[in-house]
């Protein structure tokens, strides 16, 4: 009787595979499996929790407090967010517009540029492709600190600076320009430099994606009446590499918001001269590590994370596979 009940239960749980002995073995095996899975995962889960999950949660928690790192955090509710929206004139006047401008040019710009370059590279034979890919990717291999050295020398403010000397020699200007200290030029320089090394992992993924499209897809397309390169790209290339396009897009969004350091590195100051190159990430560092208002800085961090998440969702909507297509 008891056995029958067990049998019945086993049936309910796992379908009709139900001698008790086999069931017990099966359960033991799945338990073992789970255990070994977690053993494999444990180092990552531990570090991931410590250095990613907890910081993100802590950022959210701290954003509701006043915290100057000396005294314990004091709960102040939504005050930081209210201040961000109503009191922080630098944020509203410079930081947010700068970030939007920077992100709109560098994000889609860098993304289109990396797709275009990847597509062009796919049209030429392997050997020359490898060489040109390396050349185009090389700025991305360079640490941003090393890049800053180059740009600081090129954009040096006196007449011995490379750009100034060049422009003076060709008669475009008479007086040297203080490139990196000038609120007028800082942002364009930041955008140029960031575009320069925006060929990151996403670019490599897109290149690989294009190269791996089955040639038969193109043949089929020609039979279906595709009549130009543009149609080919639009109807075959892009749809065939949607997963790589999405990965590239997410990486582009992250890269764009990560690139904030460059303004501070170039101008050598945080805040940048007249807030000309101030981006959200600089604003966070300014409040967190210069003014020691960690609560407020955390609130700005949360806003930044939400913005990034929003843009990534947008990318998902554009390139994510629909559930039915899988």
Contact 206, 241 (CB under 8 A): yes
Least Å distance between CB 192 and another protein?
Answer: 11
**Separation CA 319–CA 115 (nearest Å):** 14
| Binding test (CB under 8 A) with another protein, winner from 265, 272, 273, 278 | 265
- Cβ proximity to another protein, 194 vs 281, nearer residue: 281
Pull the structure tokens for residue 272: 């940048």
Least Å distance between CB 12 and another protein?
Answer: 19
Pull the structure tokens for residue 269: 């100051």
| Binding test (CB under 8 A) with another protein, winner from 182, 235, 242, 270 | 242
Buried/exposed 22-55: b ≥16 CB within 10 Å, e otherwise: ebeeeeeeeeeeeeeeeeeeeeeeeeeeeeeeee
Half-sphere exposure of 72 (CA within 13 A, CB side): 1
- Cβ proximity to another protein, 3 vs 123, nearer residue: 123
| Binding test (CB under 8 A) with another protein, winner from 96, 103, 105, 117 | 117
- Cβ proximity to another protein, 8 vs 36, nearer residue: 36
Least Å distance between CB 97 and another protein?
Answer: 19
Pull the structure tokens for residue 131: 């060489």
152 binds another protein (CB under 8 A): yes
Beta bridge partners of 65: 75
281 binds another protein (CB under 8 A): yes
Name the nearest CA neighbour of 303 among 273, 281, 326, 319: 281
> What is the contact mask toward another protein in residues 170 to 209, using x (rule: CB under 8 A)?
----------x---------------x--x-x--xx-xxx
Binding part of the chain for another protein, among 3-11, 20-28, 57-65, 100-108 by CB under 8 A, reads: 57-65
């Amino acid at each position: 009787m008891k056995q029958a009940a067990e049998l019945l239960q086993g049936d309910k749980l796992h379908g009709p595979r139900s001698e008790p002995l086999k069931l017990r073995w099966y359960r033991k095996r799945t338990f073992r499996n789970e255990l070994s899975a977690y053993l494999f995962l444990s180092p990552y889960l531990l570090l991931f929790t410590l250095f990613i999950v907890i910081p993100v949660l802590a950022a959210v928690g701290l954003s509701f407090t006043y915290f100057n790192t000396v005294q314990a955090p004091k709960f102040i509710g939504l005050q930081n967010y209210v201040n961000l929206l109503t009191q922080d004139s630098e944020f509203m006047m410079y930081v947010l517009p700068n970030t939007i401008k920077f992100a709109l040019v560098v994000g889609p710009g860098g993304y289109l540029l990396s797709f275009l370059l990847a597509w062009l590279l796919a049209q030429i034979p392997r050997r020359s492709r490898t060489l040109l890919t390396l050349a185009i990717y090389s700025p991305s291999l360079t640490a941003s600190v090393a890049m800053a050295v180059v740009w600081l020398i090129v954009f040096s403010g006196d007449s011995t600076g490379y750009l100034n000397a060049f422009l003076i020699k060709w008669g475009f200007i008479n007086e040297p320009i203080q490139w990196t200290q000038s609120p007028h030029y800082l942002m364009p320089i930041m955008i140029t430099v960031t575009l320069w090394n925006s060929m990151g992992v996403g670019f490599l993924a897109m290149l690989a994606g294009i190269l791996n499209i089955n040639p038969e897809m193109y043949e089929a397309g020609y039979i279906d009446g595709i009549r130009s390169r543009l149609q080919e790209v639009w109807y075959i290339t892009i749809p065939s590499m949607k997963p790589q396009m999405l990965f590239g897009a997410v990486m582009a969004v992250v890269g764009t918001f990560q690139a904030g350091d460059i303004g501070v590195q170039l101008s050598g100051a945080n805040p940048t001269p007249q807030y000309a190159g101030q981006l959200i990430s600089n604003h966070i560092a300014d409040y967190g590590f210069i003014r020691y208002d960690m609560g407020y800085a955390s609130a700005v961090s949360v806003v930044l994370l939400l913005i990034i998440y929003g843009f990534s969702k947008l990318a998902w909507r554009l390139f994510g596979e629909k559930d039915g297509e899988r």
